[in-house]
């Protein structure tokens, strides 16, 4: 069966308008998924950019735009810390979005466990929730992603082995340059999503964004290797990231 990735780029004037555009795209895909199969599965990332989106979605203007009881929240990656730790991706989403919209169906990565055990536990959870066979991949309705200045995505970093792992859904990694233990979904999981939405802001991301958007270039950045099979790849960026 032929495969294809539907690519689109949206440029917003400010980080705030970028978050608004991402919210509208997310709401549209939520409605589409619920109409099709009754729920909306979304995997969340950490970092400052998604926080803008979380705050907007929980605002009075947007909080009634999604049927939160039908939204299933998962995580793209997590730092190996307790859930109340300031660095926890779960904590940010919990405080800025989940508790404010009274979401009840969220499934965090357990960063407080031994990293290998935490990765295996989350993989088992995904296999159970998505009713997967031994060789199957989960198909998220939407995965929200950011991109680092080095082109990393999720916790898949250049020069780290995790980006090349194909036989796992979730892996634990020690990121040497950050001296940080992480949990992350693997590239095959990202590329099996119905939709991946990248959010990128700031002039410091301009050079790496230009490289990531060069589809004909050598795919040496993890972000360049995100190409959902039979899915959408949406880049939502602000003017500073696009123009420099």
Show the domains of the chain with their CATH numbers: 5-243 (3.40.50.1360)
Average pLDDT, rounded, for the chain:
96
> Taking residues 39-63, what's their average pLDDT?
95
Residue 47 has pLDDT above 60, yes or no: yes
> Is the distance from CB of 57 to CB of 23 less than 8 angstroms?
yes
> Taking residues 106-131, what's their average pLDDT?
99
Query: In DSSP terms, which residues pair with 143 in a beta bridge?
Result: 43, 196
Query: With b meaning 16 or more CB within 10 Å and e meaning fewer, what string describes 14-51?
Result: ebeebbbbbbebbeebbeebbeeeeebbbbbbbbebbb
* Packing angle, helices 15-37 and 48-57, rounded to 10: 60
In angstroms, the CA 198 to CA 49 distance is 10
Return the beta strands (E) in 109-216 as ranges: 142-145, 170-175, 180-185, 195-200
Which pLDDT value is given to residue 1?
40
In angstroms, the CA 232 to CA 211 distance is 19
Share of the chain above pLDDT 70, in %: 97
Measured CA distances, 45 to 10, 73, 198 (Å): 19, 11, 10
φ, ψ (nearest 5 deg) of residue 2? -65, 145
Does the predicted TM-score (pTM) go above 0.75? Answer: yes
* SS3 state of residue 183: strand
């Amino acid at each position: 069966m032929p495969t294809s990735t539907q690519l689109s780029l949206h440029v917003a004037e400010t980080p705030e308008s970028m978050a608004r555009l991402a919210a509208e795209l997310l709401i549209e895909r939520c409605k589409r998924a619920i109409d099709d199969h009754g729920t909306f599965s979304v995997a969340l990332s950490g970092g400052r950019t998604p926080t803008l989106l979380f705050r907007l979605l929980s605002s009075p203007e947007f909080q009634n735009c999604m049927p939160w009881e039908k939204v299933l929240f998962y995580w793209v990656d997590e730092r190996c810390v307790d859930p109340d730790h300031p660095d926890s991706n779960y904590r940010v989403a919990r405080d800025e979005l989940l508790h404010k919209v009274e979401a009840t169906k969220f499934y965090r990565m357990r960063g407080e466990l031994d990293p290998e055990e935490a990765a295996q536990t989350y993989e088992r959870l995904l296999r159970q929730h998505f009713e997967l066979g031994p060789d199957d991949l989960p198909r998220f309705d939407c995965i929200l992603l950011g991109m680092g200045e080095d082109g990393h995505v999720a916790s898949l970093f250049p020069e780290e082995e995790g980006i090349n792992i194909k036989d796992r859904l979730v892996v634990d990694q020690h990121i040497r340059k950050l001296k940080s233990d992480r949990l992350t979904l693997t590239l095959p999981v990202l590329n099996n999503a119905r939709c991946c939405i990248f959010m990128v802001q700031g002039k410091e991301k301009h050079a790496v964004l230009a490289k990531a958007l060069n589809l004909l270039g050598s795919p040496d950045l993890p972000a360049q290797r995100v190409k959902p099979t039979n899915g959408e790849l949406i880049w939502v960026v602000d003017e500073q990231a696009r123009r420099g």
